[in-house]
A = this chain, B = another copy of it.
Amino acid sequence: MTTADDLADRVRDGELRIHELEAHADHDTAAEARRLVVERETGVDLETIADYGFPAAEAEPNIENMIGAAQVPMGVVGPATVDGGAADGEYYLPLATTEGALLASVNRGLSVIGAAGGATARVTKSGMTRAPVFRVDGVAEAAETVEWVGENFETLREAAEATTSHGELLGVEPYVVGDSVYLRFAYDTKDAMGMNMATIATGEACDVIEAETDASLVALSGNLCSDKKPAAVNAVEGRGRSVSADVEIPRETVEKRLHTSPEAIVEINTRKNLVGSAKAGSLGFNAHVANAVAAMFLATGQDEAQVVEGANAITTAETTADGGLYVSVSLASLEVGTVGGGTKLPTQAAGLEILGLRGGGNPAGSNADALAEAIAVGALAGELSLLAALGSRHLSSAHADLGR
């Protein structure tokens, strides 16, 4: 039997490369060998990284060259009271983060939301996108290609959907720039985040387009998708779930629990989240939605790089007719799933279970919808809490106390 020491020796001797070790030993031994390689070369002790709580083989779909696990503190806040299109009832929200004061902030927000009877949430648009780019002979052929695509949607749909048991092609939006044609395919991917499903399905549709037209595929992603980049196309048109949450809070609650007034919060939201972001040339008109998104993504096995699009959010605040406070948050492009990807890993699966949203929903897609709504409510709570904190001017002291 090959030992980790043997493998590490062979890497040192140039016989093996570090990504080849799983071919020569089980996954845990391979990970141990890699740690040895790094420890020998750098003198670092990787014991803490080695202290992971799952068989390395289970992480095979999620990582290569594994050496162990990063451990990120996880906590819960809530319960969050949610009246959603899919979510309904009380939820503890799991968050994993290293950002001190974040859970305290969200928890405070949820507490106030709860006192006000809970938050409402709705998914208002849905669709995972992939946008290949084709080379054509010029703008005349570009126009012909666009026309062909418009006339042959059914053909493309059949090709795309043949690759998936769940996914449905919702539409194809064309964009022409000179001799490049971009086709933004949008899919209903049910409870999966759906990036891979969309990629594979679109690949099949691209084969049809190449066979039937003169267009040549340049790249299966032409950045009009747009994945993991800050992009207006997502902020405007949505990607994954477009989800909104809101709450109406009585004036008395704002004053007693948040130590500020509805008017102060409205003013801060306008000058900071609306006008400040406007002046900053931003696609994010909020205070710190990305914090809740990142922490709930980590805790539930979502793709951390998609926090980028998760930050495409607008927070609004108004006074109500009876002197209370209305606050909403609308996330344009929240890409989430409750199956596939990182959701199968043990701690992440547990995170989803805390929410009662692990695996496929009934009907299909409802678990991912509910997850989106739960994240939106978490983000709403964070917004409310930070706006209130700014209102009472203790942002820096809160960080001084809790942050470091």
Of residues 145 through 196 on chain A, the ones whose CB sits less than 8 Å from some CB of chain B are 146, 174-180, 182, 196
A196: which B residues are within 8 A, CB to CB? Answer: 396, 399-400, 403-404
Please report which residues of chain A, range 238-292, place their CB below 8 angstroms from some CB of chain B when the two chains form the complex: 242, 244-246, 248, 267-268, 270-291
Q: Determine the interface band of chain A, counting residues with CB < 8 A from chain B.
A: 35 or more
Interface membership of A25, Cβ < 8 A: no
| A127 sits at the interface (CB 8 A) | no
The binding surface of chain A is classed by DSSP as mixed
- B278 to A277, Cβ gap below 8 A? yes
Binds B, one of A1-9, A306-314, A360-368: A306-314
Q: Cβ of A109 < 8 Å from any Cβ of B?
A: no
Contacts of A293 in B (CB 8 A): 305
Rounded to whole angstroms, the CA-CA distance of A200 and B96 in the bound complex is 25
Contact at B316–A177, with CB atoms within 8 Å? yes
What residues of B have a CB within 8 angstroms of the CB of A174 in the complex?
A: 124-125
| Most B CB within 10 A of own CB, among A104, A306, A316 | A316
Contact with B along A53-90 (1 / 0, CB 8 A): 11000011111111111111111110000010100000
CA distance A83 to B140 in the complex (A): 9
Cα of A283 to Cα of B173 in the assembled complex, Å: 20
Determine whether A38 belongs to the interface, using a CB cutoff of 8 Å to chain B.
yes
Asked whether A236 is an interface residue with its Cβ less than 8 Å from the other chain, the reply is yes
Digitize A27-66: 1 where CB-to-B-CB distance is under 8 Å, 0 elsewhere: 0000000100010011011111101111000011111111
The reply on A338 being an interface residue by CB < 8 A is no
Residues A396 and B200 in contact, CB atoms below 8 Å apart: yes
- Indicate if the CB atoms of A272 and B49 lie closer than 8 Å: no
Chain B residues, Cβ within 8 Å of A284: 226, 228-231, 308
Closest chain B CB from A219 CB (angstroms): 4
A268 CA / B223 CA spacing, docked (Å): 11
Return chain B residues, CB-CB under 8 Å to A103: 19, 63-65
- What would 15 more interface pairs be, CB under 8 Å, given A34-B76, A98-B345? A44-B354, A46-B354, A49-B347, A63-B102, A67-B74, A139-B246, A177-B316, A177-B328, A196-B396, A200-B400, A226-B284, A233-B280, A283-B283, A290-B305, A298-B304
The 5 closest A-B pairs by CB, nearest first: A98-B342, A232-B281, A178-B328, A229-B284, A230-B230
